[in-house]
């Protein structure tokens, strides 16, 4: 494999793979047709090999191979995305759509053309931005799931198992099943080969059955809070990273609900998973709120002290506290980040504590 690639001009690989920022100015006349075709082939071949290797790693299922599976699957999906951008890059544009930097140059007809600059290729964020601009469709939520596991797997999932990773294979399966035919005109089975595609298909079927089981078990708990109910299906086991958690017993008081991981058996109590679920449900809203200078959508409950007080619902998703939002002393509304001192605002609380 290495020898095979060594036979190609070294620039072919570095133009796509070298993420270093060294800027070699583009000069179109030196780029032969052959060069372009070889780059083209390399990208798709590498996408396919990456996914095939990832699925093989998943099958071996030792810890190092599972870590490698996540990296390979993630990289493979991004390479498929780049392939779609490469195919849409205008001829003579130095593959503008997969270059992280572009510039505008006069073309021969008196107009303006865009050309790629340097060797650095687009990152995941840029890929999705360009997809949006060009109307290329993919399920970004599924990609976000794979990316999340990719980022967390080495540090946070000490007990990773094959079962825990099934969701990653399932997400990649769903992405490729739709993306390859629609955006690349390729049939996934032909592209990835019978063995790889069948392994992904089986993993997805199994995962969807388990997912449905978990969702229906979670649906039997009276969550009291819509935010909690929507976030609880998204939390991951902190031992193995699986997102397949289900209640041991659904007909108990919410504070007594214990979730158990289907992949590794680890258990987590409401005190821990409720704040995690609220964060899952509202982290994006919280990010936007902070950016815009608005109240955060959730915060510390003045009664139980957990990060589970949902502003929009006016109550705590864990203990049900409906905090009095008006300060008992100055009668101004207590901001959520001062709820810890309710029924007083932080200022009045401070004054009162001085009086003691």
Our finding on whether 319 is near Zn ion (CB under 5 A) is yes
Given 87, 329, 340, 341, the residue binding Zn ion (CB under 5 A): 329
Smallest gap from Cβ 237 to Zn ion, in A, equals 3
Q: What are the distances in angstroms from CA 78 to CA 47, 48, 179?
A: 8, 11, 12
Our finding on whether 304 is near Zn ion (CB under 5 A) is yes
Our finding on whether 317 is near Zn ion (CB under 5 A) is no
Our finding on whether 258 is near Zn ion (CB under 5 A) is no
Q: Find tokens 């992405």 and name the residue.
A: 175
Our finding on whether 261 is near Zn ion (CB under 5 A) is yes
Q: What are the distances in angstroms from CA 283 to CA 147, 318, 349?
A: 16, 17, 29
- Kindly tell me which of 121 and 246 has the beta carbon lying closer to Zn ion: 246
Our finding on whether 318 is near Zn ion (CB under 5 A) is yes
The size of the interface with Zn ion (CB under 5 A), counted in residues, is 20
- Kindly tell me which of 93 and 225 has the beta carbon lying closer to Zn ion: 225
Alpha helices in the chain (DSSP H): 2-6, 10-17, 33-60, 63-88, 124-134, 140-156, 162-179, 188-192, 194-219, 226-231, 270-292, 346-355
Q: Are strands 315-316 and 309-310 parallel, antiparallel or unpaired?
A: antiparallel
The answer to whether 84 and 183 are in contact (CB under 8 A) is: yes
- Kindly tell me which of 136 and 244 has the beta carbon lying closer to Zn ion: 244
- Kindly tell me which of 192 and 235 has the beta carbon lying closer to Zn ion: 235
Smallest gap from Cβ 77 to Zn ion, in A, equals 24
Q: Find tokens 């699925």 and name the residue.
A: 55
Given 42, 210, 239, 338, the residue binding Zn ion (CB under 5 A): 239
Our finding on whether 330 is near Zn ion (CB under 5 A) is yes
Across 166-189, b (16+ Cβ under 10 Å) vs e yields bbbbbbbbbbbbebbeebbebebe
Q: Which residues bind Zn ion (CB under 5 A)?
A: 237, 239-240, 242, 261, 263-264, 266, 301, 303-304, 316, 318-319, 321, 327, 329-330, 345, 348
């Amino acid at each position: 494999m290495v020898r095979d690639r060594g036979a190609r001009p070294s620039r072919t690989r570095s133009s796509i793979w070298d993420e270093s920022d060294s800027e070699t100015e583009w000069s179109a006349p030196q780029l032969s047709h052959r060069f372009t075709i070889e780059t083209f082939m390399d990208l798709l071949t590498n996408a396919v090999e990456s996914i095939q290797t990832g699925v093989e790693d998943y099958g071996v299922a030792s810890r190092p191979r599972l870590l490698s599976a996540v990296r390979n699957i993630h990289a493979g999906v991004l390479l498929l995305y780049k392939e779609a951008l490469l195919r849409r890059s205008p001829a003579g544009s130095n593959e503008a759509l997969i270059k992280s930097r572009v510039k505008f140059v006069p073309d021969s007809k008196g107009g303006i053309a865009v050309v790629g600059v340097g060797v650095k290729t687009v990152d995941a964020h840029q890929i999705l931005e360009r997809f949006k601009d060009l109307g290329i469709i993919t399920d970004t939520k599924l990609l976000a799931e794979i990316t999340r596991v990719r980022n967390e797997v080495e540090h946070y999932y000490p007990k990773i198992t094959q079962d825990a990773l099934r969701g990653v294979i399932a997400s990649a399966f769903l992405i490729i099943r739709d993306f390859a035919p629609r955006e690349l005109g390729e049939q996934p089975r032909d592209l990835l080969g019978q063995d790889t595609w069948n392994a992904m298909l089986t993993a997805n079927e199994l995962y969807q059955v388990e997912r449905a089981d978990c969702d229906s078990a979670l649906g039997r708990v009276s969550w009291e809070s819509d935010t909690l109910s929507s976030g609880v299906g998204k939390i991951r086991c902190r031992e193995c990273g699986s997102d397949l958690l289900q209640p041991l017993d659904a007909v108990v008081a919410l504070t007594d609900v214990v979730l158990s991981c289907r992949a590794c058996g680890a258990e987590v109590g409401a005190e821990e998973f409720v704040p995690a679920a609220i964060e899952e449900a509202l982290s994006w809203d919280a990010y936007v709120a902070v950016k815009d200078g608005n109240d955060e959508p959730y915060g510390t409950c003045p009664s139980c002290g957990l990060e589970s007080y949902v502003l929009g619902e006016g109550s705590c998703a864990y203990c049900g506290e409906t905090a009095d939002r008006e300060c008992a002393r100055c009668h101004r509304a207590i901001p959520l980040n001062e709820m810890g001192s309710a029924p007083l605002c932080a200022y009045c609380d401070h004054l009162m504590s001085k009086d003691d």
